[in-house]
Chain A
Amino acid sequence: DVKVTQSSRYLVKRTGEKVFLECVQDMDHENMFWYRQDPGLGLRLIYFSYDVKMKEKGDIPEGYSVSREKKERFSLILESASTNQTSMYLCASKFSPASGSGSYEQYFGPGTRLTVT
């Protein structure tokens, strides 16, 4: 079974703090993603990475950065947390098209509910 784990289920931070959210997958997937989920807005892509040290901006990258130093680990960083970043954050992973795996599927972690006060 594919496993995507996230470092925290719940997190409470203060405005202005630097926040790190970590994600680890155990399926040797090339692609990893960070989404935020808000009521009525669905899932919005923040950043994704298609290889170690490689990243691309998603639809809402402002206020966020990412780091991928190892294939299995993808970190989301809030440089200076703000109240409008209070949300559910979801990590996901999948094989890259270039891997030749034939697999389309994307697997999600359990999510981190972040509250910024």
Chain B
Amino acid sequence: QQQVKQSPQSLIVQKGGISIINCAYENTAFDYFPWYQQFPGKGPALLIAIRPDVSEKKEGRFTISFNKSAKQFSLHIMDSQPGDSATYFCAASSYNFNKFYFGSGTKLNVKP
């Protein structure tokens, strides 16, 4: 059973627009929700992460919105730029877990 479901699989956004990627999880024991950004030919790098004690976390143009009751979280990229074109993965884990559970990834293409 897939523990973390991510959508959409791909996304095309115009420069300056807002990119939104959604994830849903099953296990209520998860208490750490990171987003990773991966450029072609590179390993994923941590972009931003949230704990469930807050509903939103913002770092520059990147915001995570978290809805604990719905077991959903999303990544918003404001003023999207061509340099944001990459694959984005959501994940879920817990401090007491050894493993991370990853979404299937979203390929973002920001058109100039």
| A111 & B43 in contact (Cβ 8 Å cutoff) | yes
| Bound CA–CA A42/B34 (angstroms) | 15
Q: How large is the interface on A (under 10, 10 to 19, 20 to 34, 35 or more residues)?
A: 20 to 34
A-B pair count, CB < 8 Å, reads: 59
Residues A106 and B100 in contact in the complex (CB < 8 Å), given A42-B89, A97-B95: yes
**A25 lies within 8 A of chain B by Cβ:** no
| B89 & A43 in contact (Cβ 8 Å cutoff) | yes
With a cutoff of 8 Å between Cβ atoms, the chain B residues found around residue A4 in the complex are 43
Interface SS, B side: loop
Q: How large is the interface on B (under 10, 10 to 19, 20 to 34, 35 or more residues)?
A: 20 to 34
Q: Which residues of B come within 8 Å of A, CB atoms?
A: 6, 9, 32, 34, 36, 41-46, 49, 89, 91, 93, 95-100, 102-105
Selected A-B contacts with CB under 8 Å, 11 pairs: A4-B43, A33-B99, A41-B104, A48-B99, A90-B44, A92-B43, A97-B97, A97-B98, A106-B91, A110-B41, A110-B42
Q: A42-B6, A56-B98, A106-B93 are in contact. List 6 more A-B contacts (CB 8 A).
A: A48-B99, A104-B34, A105-B34, A105-B46, A106-B34, A111-B43
